[in-house]
Structure 1
Amino acid sequence: MKAIYPEGGDGDSEAVPGVSPEPDGAADGRSITLEVDGEVFALSPNEFGGTDYAWLSGPNPGYGFGASPTPNLSLDGHRENIRGFLAQIDPATGYIEDD
């Protein structure tokens, strides 16, 4: 660990492989970026006790979805939400398919 964390640091005990802080630094400091099946999403808590998922690697800027409630949802739970969303996407448009 000392080679990875010079200056005697202990690192981040909350660090999780595959998850990184949101690139531009979210104002609330609680947003993360999560890659799922090659797609990148920014996850941030919303005022309803849920999570907003912004599809950063998608073809339509600003597109995503929300889920509520999600308190204490595991990373696997977030991945499941994202996979459910991606399963509905029309590959031709990048939006949820019309019925």
Structure 2
Amino acid sequence: MSTEPEPGLVPEHMRTRYKDDQPPVMVTVDGQDFRIRERAEEPGTYDFDWLNGPHDYGFGISGGSAMSLPEMKEAIRTFLAMIDPATGYIED
């Protein structure tokens, strides 16, 4: 499983391809709110949408296996550690 967040927005064509029988996971980590959804056609691939970030931003993780809530929270912390507080984007 790849545990490194892949930054960027979820492509528009992927935004509606989520499992209908599973509601998104809503989680707050270090004061930041995220919606996590698993892609229907790619089991084990998750999109993390940063809901209260300064920009429409998020990341995806694919690994082929289900993620536990602690793994999801760790992925969010890894992502947030890469964010430049001045710009709200991943540091160069």
Large movers: runs of 4+ above 3 Å? none
Greater RCO structure (CA 8 Å; 6+ sep): 2
| CA contact 2:19–2:38 (8 Å) conserved in 1 | no
Deviation at 1:69, TM superposition (A): 1.5
Report the TM-score, using the length of structure 1 for normalisation.
0.66
Tell me the distance in 2 between the aligned counterparts of 1:97 and 1:38. 20
When the two chains are superposed, the root-mean-square deviation of aligned CA atoms in Å is 1.7
Question: In the TM superposition, what are the counterparts of 1:1-99 in structure 2 within 5 Å?
Answer: 28-30=20-22, 31-46=24-39, 47-49=41-43, 50-61=45-56, 63-69=57-63, 71-98=65-92
Tell me the distance in 1 between the aligned counterparts of 2:52 and 2:42. 25
The structure with the greater share of residues assigned to strand is 2
> Identity, % of aligned pairs?
47
Larger Rg: 1
Report the TM-score, using the length of structure 2 for normalisation.
0.70
| CA contact 1:51–1:70 (8 Å) conserved in 2 | no
Q: Could you tell me which amino acid in structure 2 is paired with residue 56 of structure 1?
A: L
Deviation at 1:52, TM superposition (A): 0.2
Tell me the distance in 2 between the aligned counterparts of 1:27 and 1:73. 15
The structure with the greater share of residues assigned to helix is 2
Report the count of equivalent residues. 72
Tell me the distance in 2 between the aligned counterparts of 1:76 and 1:85. 14
Which sections of structure 1, spanning at least 5 residues, go unmatched? 1-25
